[in-house]
């Protein structure tokens, strides 16, 4: 190889290396789940209007209970014993699906409930997650997950809740039937981050999405003041 050819060859290698090196960050960002957009703190979200607040209290607990009883499990489970002795059998026996953290929501350690719901309620949670993410995208906000804090309760769970919480109804609860769950009003997680963010902005966005789904006849939503929960029963 003569000198000129050799120089050309070296230059070619250098250029190729440079192009390759400069494309690494692009490649990396395409593969990694980056969270684009503003943080919730960088946006302003209007507070709920009187009408919106009214919509969130239109269907009281009685509606939730009647609906859950009509569509959900035949009768409440007495305790978690059955689940504890055969967790694998449990879902199959009652035709319930286990839910776990996904890209839309996070389930903290549950003390007074089990992470099981009937299929339509599981599907609804994903629908809600998708609609919430779409709304965030529309507002230029990065992706956040909401937190599902109470799911399927047994009679024993309800009894122990009653001691701590005035909102837990004494004898009956829609949480017995596999169609009802609670979402934290203010606890969210930025996607890819395990540290919770407490925010009323995301709460209001999520509540607006829920009002829309309620208007479409997909669910009943009840804003529980004292527990800071959003109580949802799937129709």
The torsion angle over the Cα atoms of residues 217, 223, 227 and 231, rounded to 10 degrees, is 0
> How many angstroms separate the Cα of 175 from the Cα of each of 64, 100, 154, 183?
9, 18, 8, 13
Closer residue to Zn ion (CB): 106 or 182: 182
Which residue, 199 or 233, has its beta carbon nearer to Zn ion?
233
Nearer to Zn ion, 201 or 231 (CB): 231
CA–CA dist 206, 146 (Å, integer)? 9
Please give the backbone phi and psi of residue 47, each rounded to the nearest 5 degrees, phi first.
-70, 165
Residue 78 Cβ vs Zn ion, minimum distance, rounded to whole Å: 20
Closest CB 172 distance from Zn ion, rounded Å: 12
Q: How far is the CB of 180 from Zn ion (least distance, A)?
A: 6
Q: How far is the CB of 175 from Zn ion (least distance, A)?
A: 6
| Strand 105-106 relative to strand 229-234, pairing | unpaired
Among 104, 118, 231, 233, binds Zn ion (CB under 5 A): 231
Per CB under 5 A, does 157 bind Zn ion?
no
Give the number of residues in contact with Zn ion, rule: CB under 5 A: 2
The tokens for 105 are 């929501």
Question: Is 149 or 199 the residue whose CB approaches Zn ion more closely?
Answer: 149
Looking at 113-121, 123-131, 179-187, 197-205, which segment touches Zn ion (CB under 5 A)? Answer: 179-187
182 near Zn ion, rule: CB under 5 A: yes
Q: Which is nearer to Zn ion, 40 or 214 (CB)?
A: 214
The piece of 6-14, 83-91, 201-209, 223-231 that touches Zn ion (CB under 5 A) is 223-231
Range 132-142 burial, b when 16+ CB lie within 10 A, else e: bbebbeeeebb
Nearer to Zn ion, 40 or 182 (CB): 182
Give 181: exposed, middle or buried? Use CB within 10 Å, 0-12, 13-18, 19+.
buried
- Which positions lie near Zn ion, rule CB under 5 A? 182, 231
């Amino acid at each position: 190889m003569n000198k000129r050819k050799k120089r050309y060859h070296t230059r070619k290698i250098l250029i190729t290396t440079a192009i390759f090196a400069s494309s690494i960050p692009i490649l990396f960002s395409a593969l990694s789940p980056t969270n684009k957009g503003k943080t919730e703190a960088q946006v302003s979200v209007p507070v709920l209007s009187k009408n919106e607040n009214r919509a969130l209290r239109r269907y009281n607990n009685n509606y939730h209970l009647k609906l859950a009883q009509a569509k959900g499990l035949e009768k409440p489970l007495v305790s978690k014993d059955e689940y504890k002795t055969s967790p694998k059998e449990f879902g199959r026996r009652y035709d319930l699906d286990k839910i776990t953290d996904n890209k839309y929501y996070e389930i903290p350690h549950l003390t007074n409930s089990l992470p099981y719901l009937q299929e339509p309620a599981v599907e609804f949670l994903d629908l809600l997650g998708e609609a919430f993410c779409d709304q965030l995208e529309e507002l230029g906000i990065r992706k956040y997950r909401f937190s599902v804090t109470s799911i399927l309760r047994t009679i024993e769970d309800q009894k122990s809740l009653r001691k701590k919480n005035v909102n837990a109804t004494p004898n009956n609860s829609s949480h017995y039937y596999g169609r009802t769950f609670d979402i934290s009003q203010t606890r969210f997680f930025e996607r890819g981050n395990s540290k919770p963010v407490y925010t009323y902005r995301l709460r209001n966005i999520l509540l607006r999405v829920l009002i829309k789904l309620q208007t479409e006849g997909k669910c009943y939503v009840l804003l529980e003041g004292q527990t800071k929960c959003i109580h949802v029963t799937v129709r």
